[in-house]
Amino acid sequence: MSPSVLEITKDLVLAQIQAGTLAPEDMQEALRHIYQELRTLKSREEAELSMSAAGTAPALADWRKSITRHSITCLECGAHLRQLTGLHLRLHALDARSYRAKFGIPVTQPLSARATAALRRRIAAEVKPWEKSPTYRKGQETRAATAKKLGKKNGDTEEVNDHERCHSEVGAPARQD
């Protein structure tokens, strides 16, 4: 518990008397003055606290406000994120679907900062996503590395080349348009 206004007032006045900055005969006036000041400050603080407490729930319940250009606010815990990942939602025993349902968010609404969502849309439109996806590229690199390793071990480059060709044909995206 924090000390009461009266206690703080008393301590302040006593400290001033002890420091010699306040004459004992002025004590009454000082007490009244400090007490009033502190009361005002305290009630202002309490009003602000209750206002922000009351303001938090409705503001967060409006999902539109939770998504800004550079962040998305998790409506469950208030964390500011660039993207509301499945991993994060799992902390609240939710997934993207149940999260959207809980807060009335349309299924078409990306759960990420507006800038991030826009960037992803642009990238998806500009490049073939499968060629830029880390798994695809990693797959290519791993294949190449494996082929090299095999080549060195066996000294049989012809077989390795066949192997690689076969894989790249299988792994390539369908060419039929």
Using CB under 5 A, list all residues that contact Zn ion. Answer: 74, 76-77, 79
Residue nearest to Zn ion (CB): 74
Query: Taken in order 8, 9, 15, 18, is the CA torsion positive or negative?
Result: negative
- How far apart CA 145 and CA 133 sit, in angstroms, is 18
- For residue 173, the minimal CB distance to Zn ion (Å) is 37
Closer residue to Zn ion, CB minimum distance, 5 or 89: 89
C-alpha distances in Å from residue 56, one per residue of 50, 88, 102: 10, 21, 17
Over its C-alpha atoms, the chain yields an Rg (Å, rounded) of 33
- For residue 74, the minimal CB distance to Zn ion (Å) is 3
- For residue 114, the minimal CB distance to Zn ion (Å) is 19
Closer residue to Zn ion, CB minimum distance, 5 or 72: 72
Closer residue to Zn ion, CB minimum distance, 33 or 80: 80
Query: Taken in order 47, 50, 54, 57, is the CA torsion positive or negative?
Result: positive
Closer residue to Zn ion, CB minimum distance, 105 or 160: 105
- Contact present, 79 and 60 (Cβ < 8 Å): no
- For residue 84, the minimal CB distance to Zn ion (Å) is 8
